[in-house]
A and B are shown apart, each in its own frame.
Chain A
Amino acid sequence: MTLPEIKPEQAISLENVTYQYPKSTSRLSFPQWQVAQGERLFLYGPSGSGKTTLLNLLAGILTPDTGSVELLGKPFSGLSEGKRDKFRARHIGVVFQQFNLVSHLTVAQNIALAAHFAGGSQPGREQLVALIHALQLPAEVLIKQASQLSVGQQQRVAIARALINQPEILLVDEPTSALDADARDAFMRLLTELCEQHHTTLIFVSHDQSLSQYLDKSVALSAITTAAEASSC
């Protein structure tokens, strides 16, 4: 991985960010929140508390109504939509709860597609095999259609897909909710190991606090939002 010459201290920095839900009066605000580079953060909170909205803001799918989102020292929320798409493709990896892959493409094609949108060179076969191997999957899955894999396999391929462009930031949303306990443990170990190897900043969102043991630090979503309500009201 090629690191920038002057490495910004903060991977993520939110400044006075507010977001008003459309067709609703409820509003989310994040007055001040920073995540350091290489940090692996567990973010928990009950359903409906705005975890997913926060991830949408971080991924640039949503833009804040006020304030700014800075990623890797860049004013991310101020970029045009096209530039945000490009930035997301190159610097941010995302793994959802489920359905991370395009079901009618093979695993190799799914990974190649992510590389395509990042504008980088297509991954070679050795690179793919190495990545798949690191995720403890057999090399044959590369030529299988995504829909033929088990959910556990799909989630691991999703990590491979998210990591192929060696993103600085990895956003993960309840990735283990469809997995059983054993698979969950294996998945969490792999995820944190890979992030550590690549020095990737990891934001792991879940309502299941038992998962916090796998990560460096855990933060309740309420801790970064409630302060906002107090100061803004």
Chain B
Amino acid sequence: MLMSFALSSLRSRGKSLALTFLALLISVSVLLSVEHVRLQAQESFNRTVSDVDLIVGAPSGQLNLMLYTVFRMGSPTNNISYASYEMLQQHPQVNWAIPISLGDAHHGYRVLGTNQQYFDHYKFGNKQPLVFSQGESFKGVFGAVLGADVASALNYKLGDDIVIAHGLGAVSFQNHDDSPFTVTGILAPTGTPVDKTVHVSLQGIEAMHLPHAQLDSVLELPDTLTNPAVQPDSVTAVMVGLTSKFATFTLQRELNNYDDDRLMAILPGVALTEMWQMMSSVENLLRFISLLIMLSSLFGLSTMLLASMQQREKEIAVLRIIGAGAGTIFRLILVEAMLLAGAASVTAVALVSGVFAVAKEWLASHYGMFISANLLTLHTALVVGAIMLATLICSLLPAIDAYRGAINQRL
């Protein structure tokens, strides 16, 4: 009875109610979006690399090394020698080692030189391996494997010839026109920076930096990785998987003190956490702003209810005289506020889910943010629960007002 009365009463106050509802809807939507993006960004961030125990590169900062090896952002500072890679590969505690050579781009997409180890051992998300949606990995010097986004954005098919530019810009004056690569494979989407990478062989990277005359001689020979003219002498970094996780710290110390080359080994998990902490101040700012928006619209709700008390004096007098206790009036105001906030929350969940379902592709392709449209999580439930609790607290004032008014009501 209380419920249907509250509904009818809310309906009768159409305009101010609609505005309050909109204010609540917007603020709940903002709060939910911020929370959702925050969690999803963290998840998408943490799933970029998996199962790698150490990343080894030239000494710089661990964030820098992490950024260019895993996120393919920024520019590598220094290389390490190819001999160091071979040392790592043969190390008894190392299970596998993936060489990475960076520094070139194709239409703004990073070009990464590597070898077969990458396709065998690189994992993302929850230890998911890379899968070819078409073709296979490169066999010769001039093969290229494209990430899913590169292939779809530039509309490449298997067998297409692509030209790789020196440097990282989308437009380069120094195109390596003479070293055309052929697409041999396209990877399935991963939701990580791999989708935006062009993978070529280490030898391919060497070949495109050769002088013209030498390159011609390479091109004349059969396309094999053993060609002595294109053997790599350095790599940017190496991703390492160990035989036993217990060896991680021992090996890290050993590599940091390595005599034949200047090396730095980092733990990806630790670096990821450190990076995320840097972002957390922005994240906290966003949360703070959305909480303020929420708070202001709750005050709006409170004001709306308080203002309506004046016009509802008669209604409350009628309720009192037919035997409604002051407690009933108090509960009525709370029920009204809760109905309003509940309706706004449900609508906001639907709205935000809808927006993310539509914007999902665009966010992934433009910002590399992989946001799921599924908002029905425990966290959302907690946020909505907190909103309802805050609503309850904010509507206490008008409810107490109504209660007092009801007590002092005269006929």
Query: Do A and B truly interact?
Result: yes
B interface secondary structure, majority: helix
Among B7-15, B114-122, B251-259, B376-384, the stretch in contact with A? B7-15
Q: Are A61 and B411 in contact (CB under 8 A)?
A: yes
Q: Please report the C-alpha to C-alpha distance between residue A190 and residue B409 in the assembled complex, in whole angstroms.
A: 29
Query: Does A220 interact with chain B (Cβ within 8 Å)?
Result: no
- Closest-by-CB residue of A relative to B321 is A94
Q: Please report the C-alpha to C-alpha distance between residue A62 and residue B5 in the assembled complex, in whole angstroms.
A: 26
Among A26-34, A37-45, A100-108, A196-204, the stretch in contact with B? A100-108
Query: Does B170 interact with chain A (Cβ within 8 Å)?
Result: no
Q: Please report the C-alpha to C-alpha distance between residue A99 and residue B320 in the assembled complex, in whole angstroms.
A: 13
Q: What B residues does A228 contact at CB under 8 A? A: none
Q: Are A104 and B9 in contact (CB under 8 A)?
A: yes
Query: Does B327 interact with chain A (Cβ within 8 Å)?
Result: yes
Q: Give the contacting residue for A89; candidates B5, B323, B327; CB below 8 A.
A: B323
Q: Please report the C-alpha to C-alpha distance between residue A104 and residue B9 in the assembled complex, in whole angstroms.
A: 6
Q: Give the contacting residue for A104; candidates B12, B321, B410; CB below 8 A.
A: B12
Within 285-340 of B, Cβ neighbours of A (below 8 Å) are at 314-315, 317-328
Q: How many Cβ-Cβ contacts under 8 Å join chain A to chain B? A: 71
Q: What B residues does A86 contact at CB under 8 A? A: 323
What is the interface size of chain A, counting residues whose CB is below 8 A from a CB of the partner? Answer: 31
Q: Are B410 and A113 in contact (CB under 8 A)?
A: no
Q: Are A99 and B411 in contact (CB under 8 A)?
A: no
Query: Does A90 interact with chain B (Cβ within 8 Å)?
Result: yes
Query: Does B1 interact with chain A (Cβ within 8 Å)?
Result: yes
Whether A109 contacts B324 in the complex (CB less than 8 A), given A61-B411, A100-B318, comes out as: no
Q: What A residues does B409 contact at CB under 8 A? A: 61
Whether A81 contacts B322 in the complex (CB less than 8 A), given A52-B411, A103-B12, A104-B12, comes out as: no
Q: What B residues does A188 contact at CB under 8 A? A: none
Q: Please report the C-alpha to C-alpha distance between residue A49 and residue B359 in the assembled complex, in whole angstroms.
A: 71
Name the distance in Å between B370's Cβ and chain A's nearest Cβ: 48
Most chain B beta-carbon contacts within 10 A, residue among A62, A90, A113: A113
- Closest-by-CB residue of B relative to A95 is B321
Q: Give the contacting residue for A99; candidates B314, B323, B324; CB below 8 A.
A: B314
Within 146-184 of A, Cβ neighbours of B (below 8 Å) are at 161, 173
Name the distance in Å between B130's Cβ and chain A's nearest Cβ: 63
Q: Please report the C-alpha to C-alpha distance between residue A82 and residue B330 in the assembled complex, in whole angstroms.
A: 14
Whether A105 contacts B8 in the complex (CB less than 8 A), given A61-B410, A94-B411, comes out as: yes
Within 197-232 of B, Cβ neighbours of A (below 8 Å) are at none
Name the distance in Å between B75's Cβ and chain A's nearest Cβ: 68
Q: Are B323 and A102 in contact (CB under 8 A)?
A: no
Q: What A residues does B327 contact at CB under 8 A? A: 82
Name the distance in Å between A148's Cβ and chain B's nearest Cβ: 12
Q: Are A56 and B410 in contact (CB under 8 A)?
A: yes
Q: Please report the C-alpha to C-alpha distance between residue A99 and residue B318 in the assembled complex, in whole angstroms.
A: 8
- Closest-by-CB residue of A relative to B315 is A102
- Closest-by-CB residue of B relative to A119 is B323
Q: Please report the C-alpha to C-alpha distance between residue A56 and residue B319 in the assembled complex, in whole angstroms.
A: 14
- Closest-by-CB residue of A relative to B325 is A85
Q: Please report the C-alpha to C-alpha distance between residue A114 and residue B321 in the assembled complex, in whole angstroms.
A: 9
Q: Please report the C-alpha to C-alpha distance between residue A173 and residue B410 in the assembled complex, in whole angstroms.
A: 12
Q: Are A105 and B5 in contact (CB under 8 A)?
A: yes
Q: What A residues does B5 contact at CB under 8 A? A: 102, 105, 113
Q: Are A85 and B8 in contact (CB under 8 A)?
A: no
Q: Please report the C-alpha to C-alpha distance between residue A86 and residue B5 in the assembled complex, in whole angstroms.
A: 19
**Binary flags per residue of B363-374, CB closer than 8 Å to A gives 1, else 0:** 000000000000
Name the distance in Å between B13's Cβ and chain A's nearest Cβ: 8
Within 51-98 of A, Cβ neighbours of B (below 8 Å) are at 52-53, 55-56, 59, 61-62, 81-82, 85-86, 88-90, 94, 96
Query: Does A191 interact with chain B (Cβ within 8 Å)?
Result: no
Q: Please report the C-alpha to C-alpha distance between residue A37 and residue B328 in the assembled complex, in whole angstroms.
A: 31
Query: Does A135 interact with chain B (Cβ within 8 Å)?
Result: no
Whether A85 contacts B324 in the complex (CB less than 8 A), given A104-B9, A173-B411, comes out as: yes
Q: Are A88 and B12 in contact (CB under 8 A)?
A: no
Q: What A residues does B8 contact at CB under 8 A? A: 104-105, 109
Q: Are A103 and B315 in contact (CB under 8 A)?
A: yes
Q: What A residues does B326 contact at CB under 8 A? A: 81
- Closest-by-CB residue of B relative to A106 is B8
Q: Please report the C-alpha to C-alpha distance between residue A36 and residue B8 in the assembled complex, in whole angstroms.
A: 41
**19 more A-B residue pairs beyond the given contacts A89-B322, A114-B323, A117-B322, with a C-beta to C-beta distance below 8 A:** A61-B320, A61-B411, A81-B326, A85-B324, A85-B325, A86-B323, A94-B411, A96-B317, A100-B318, A101-B318, A102-B315, A102-B318, A105-B8, A109-B8, A113-B5, A114-B322, A117-B319, A117-B323, A117-B324
A-B contact pairs, 18 of them (CB 8 A): A56-B411, A61-B321, A61-B411, A81-B326, A82-B327, A86-B323, A90-B323, A94-B321, A96-B411, A99-B317, A102-B318, A103-B315, A104-B12, A109-B8, A113-B1, A113-B5, A117-B323, A118-B322
Closest A-B pairs by Cβ, 4 of them: A89-B323, A104-B12, A117-B323, A99-B314
Query: Which residues on B are within 8 Å of A, measured CB to CB?
Result: 1, 5, 8-9, 11-12, 314-315, 317-328, 409-411
